[in-house]
Amino acid sequence: MKLTGNTIFITGGGSGIGRGLAEALHKQGNKVIIGGRRRSQLDQVVTANPGMAAVELDITDAAGIGLVAAQLIADYPDLNVLINNAGIMQPDQAGAQIDDALMVSTISTNLMGPIRMTSALIDHLKTRNDAVVAYTSSVLAFVPLAATAVYSSTKAALHSYILSQRFMLRDTTVRVLEIAPPWVRTDLMNSREAEQAMPLEAFIDETIAALETDADEILVEGARLFRGNPGPGEHALVNGFNAQMMEVLGG
């Protein structure tokens, strides 16, 4: 991915990985627009990064996504990069009755949202040089965390969709990238102080370096073991990982 001279829209850019990517890419000389539900968070990021812009966006609102996409194309016709980063993560009970509202909210945010956002912008992106659609998935797409089974399954589904979209766009100017973070110190699952999680700054630095390569999957070193897991023996790592995490999370 070309790291300078882009016009980039990042969903979920008000905090965590989204904010980290937005600020790093802003410093590289790109025009960065962030989207999110909380106006106060967006304003804080824009104030801290003069020249950045923001739009309010509820990624679960199909009509709202269409309106935001139209606004972006009108206001920023050079838009050539979309980073689908917005997501939510909540504990659930795959071994018991699943909370239906939690399930619907997670699927709407983590899977339907990025598919809808990309769909709304894809025809425009096909007209741009150096166009990129990137998705923040997770290593949990490959090794699910049983305590967040719905979240993990949305990331696995997103990975599958990315593979299909990359194939379908193979003869266009649009590259499709997947950023698959390990556990990172963000507000997701109150992980900001988790010692086992990767510091956000280190994750962003490694990710920006990987984005500059020709890789389709953007993996920091700590994610590679998880990415290499799928296969006939995958349950050995899944079970061992979850046994360890149950101890960490106190489950």
Q: What is the pLDDT along the chain (251 residues), one digit of tens a residue?
A: 999 999 999 999 999 999 999 999 999 999 999 999 999 999 999 999 999 999 999 999 999 999 999 999 999 999 999 999 999 999 999 999 999 999 999 999 999 999 999 999 999 999 999 999 999 999 999 999 999 999 999 999 999 999 999 999 999 999 999 999 999 999 888 788 888 899 999 999 999 999 999 999 999 999 999 998 777 677 787 788 888 888 888 75
> Is residue 180 a part of any domain in this protein?
yes
> Is residue 97 a part of any domain in this protein?
yes
> Is residue 1 a part of any domain in this protein?
no
What domain range includes position 94? 7-249
> Is residue 2 a part of any domain in this protein?
no
151 is catalytic: yes
Q: Can you tell me which residue has the tokens 């739009």?
A: 55
Handedness of CA 4, 174, 35, 193 (dihedral sign): negative
> Is residue 122 a part of any domain in this protein?
yes
Q: Which of 76, 135, 151, 161 is catalytic?
A: 151
Strand order in the sheet with 53-56: 53-56, 31-36, 7-11, 81-84, 131-136, 174-179, 217-218
- CA dist list (Å): 219 to 63, 146, 198: 33, 22, 13
Strands annotated E in the chain? 7-11, 31-36, 53-56, 81-84, 131-136, 174-179, 217-218
- pTM equals 0.92
The CATH code of the domain that includes 165 is 3.40.50.720
Domain tally for the chain?
1
Phi-psi region at 5: left, alpha or beta (left = phi > 0; alpha = psi -120 to 50): left
